[in-house]
Amino acid sequence: MLQVKMTEAFKMSFLDTPVPEVGDDEVLIQMKRVGVCGSDIQIYHGKHKYMTFPVVQGHEGAGVVTKVGSKVSGFKEGDKVTIQPQVYCGTCAPCRSGHYNVCKNLKVYGVHTGGMFSEYFAVPASKALLLPENMSFDEGSLVEPAAVATGAIRRCGNLTGTNVVVLGAGTIGNLVAQVAVASGAKKVVITDINETRLDIARTCGIHACINTRGRKLKDVILEQFGDDEADIIIDCAGVKAIFSEAVAAARCSSKLVIVANYKEPVEVELPLFQRREVDMLGIMMYLREDFQRAIDLMTSKAINTAPLISDHFGIRQIEEVYPYIDNNPESVMKVVIDIS
């Protein structure tokens, strides 16, 4: 079978490897679609802090079960599935308290251990989730990013009646904003300086999509919510200057939530958190229940992922993908690789 291995930064090789054996508790999946994530781009550039080469990338996948291990129940050949890509130890303190998404020994398929840029992929059945028959493989590949969003919103607590601002209208920001709307927020505002991304957000039922170029976040919040301001600000932008604005704009007794993946330390005016009783929350991936909720929200059309896919590439064209993403930052949203 065909497999793509990233051997070092900027270098990929196409391998012809045997189809994996299926263990008793595993399912074999013929991969159909795998999305390219921001973290994949960091790996390509050799900038990902927590991985080592070589690696087979790919953690946002959908495919079809082609073999079922002897001890597996709940799956059969032909089932459409997606894969929850976390491998965790189950014994460390975070794992024991149910927070295995921040396991001390966490490994993610496609980052720290082999991933899905491969025609076939074998995983423990506990990592697979059934997709409805009528869900496309494209949508199936977007369950993982949607699960980042459902995980983030779960961590925010009850959203009913709240004012929410999402900073950054890329794939994750868009999905976080959509899940916030679906979770009962009174008003959800998404901000960006990229009009293409805002236009996509406008097609996704997000209440207000605001271009903040040349504007202060605080002014936008006052304009959109009046004196009540924002109950929750969710950072999906990952830009230091924007985070400073978010800190300045955080209201007394509100939440500031960090979904974005910062690559370096960020200085903040800490006394503001203390004096305003602002809760700062970090979000790292998801739990299985978040994956299931993402599937459910997509199935019921409460969230819409189709507009997020900007491009498709065949797996044989995968070498062109990263330069393409690098050269088109204004227009690219989610790139999906057609595996088979």
Rounded least distance, CB 76 to Zn ion, Å: 28
Q: Binders of Zn ion: how many residues, by CB under 5 A?
A: 6
Nearer to Zn ion, 75 or 121 (CB): 121
> CA nearest 170: which of 213, 139, 200?
200
Nearer to Zn ion, 17 or 50 (CB): 50
Residue 89 sits in the site that holds Zn ion (CB under 5 A): yes
User: Is there a contact between 271 and 164 (Cβ–Cβ < 8 Å)?
Assistant: no
Q: Which member of 103, 182, 236, 315 binds Zn ion (CB under 5 A)?
A: 103
Residue 92 sits in the site that holds Zn ion (CB under 5 A): yes
Rounded least distance, CB 103 to Zn ion, Å: 3
Candidates 33-41, 116-124, 175-183, 240-248: pick the segment binding Zn ion (CB under 5 A).
Answer: 33-41
Rounded least distance, CB 31 to Zn ion, Å: 15
Residue 281 sits in the site that holds Zn ion (CB under 5 A): no
Nearer to Zn ion, 43 or 217 (CB): 43
Rounded least distance, CB 144 to Zn ion, Å: 6
Rounded least distance, CB 105 to Zn ion, Å: 5
Residue 176 sits in the site that holds Zn ion (CB under 5 A): no
DSSP category for residue 251: P
What are the Cα distances from residue 187, in Å, to 162, 180, 251, 254? Answer: 7, 9, 16, 15
Rounded least distance, CB 36 to Zn ion, Å: 9
**Positive or negative: CA dihedral 218, 221, 227, 228:** negative
User: Is there a contact between 211 and 168 (Cβ–Cβ < 8 Å)?
Assistant: no
Q: Which member of 6, 29, 34, 37 binds Zn ion (CB under 5 A)?
A: 37
Helices (H), the chain: 38-44, 93-96, 137-141, 143-156, 171-182, 195-202, 217-225, 240-249, 270-275, 288-299, 318-327
What string marks each residue from 122 to 161 as x (binds Zn ion by CB under 5 A) or -?
----------------------------------------
Nearer to Zn ion, 11 or 96 (CB): 96
Residue 285 sits in the site that holds Zn ion (CB under 5 A): no
User: Is there a contact between 283 and 290 (Cβ–Cβ < 8 Å)?
Assistant: no
CA dihedral 96, 283, 53, 12 (to 10 degrees): 130
Q: Which residues bind Zn ion (CB under 5 A)?
A: 37, 88-89, 92, 95, 103
